Amino acid sequence: MKVYLNGKEMQFKEGGYEYVFMKPYQRSQSDVVKKDYGQLTLQLYDNGVQIRTLATDNEVSTLINRDVAVDEVKNKIYILEPGNSVTVNEDGSLRVE
């Protein structure tokens, strides 16, 4: 299965990744549209983040309207805000400030 995040192919992880929001949110709204070819999931957050995921039999493609940093060691996707900096630790994990 191919997995894409913001147009870049990434490694498939069983169990998926956890989203980490650098700007907290209070409310969110989600909607799922199912079609014959797959399903589209729309997620909207009151901090301005929008996540759109299209899942088909062969591919999962996610678009997030922010810059992201992927920590493949801890299976986390950091949703960055302007001013955040990302440092790679010795073990390959990320530190976001």
- As a three-state string, the secondary structure of the chain is CEEEECCEEECCCCCCCEEEECCCCCCEEEEEEEECCEEEEEEEECCCCEEEEEECCCEEEEEECCCEEEECCCCEEEECCCCCCEEECCCCCEEEC
Q: Residue 48 is encoded by which pair of tokens?
A: 């301005």
Q: Is the pLDDT of residue 62 over 90?
A: yes
Q: Is the pLDDT of residue 29 over 90?
A: yes
Residue 26 phi, psi (nearest 5): -105, -40
> 51, 64 in Cβ contact below 8 A?
yes
Q: Would you state the pLDDT for residue 14?
A: 87
Mean of pLDDT values over 46-68:
97
Q: What is the pTM of this model?
A: 0.93
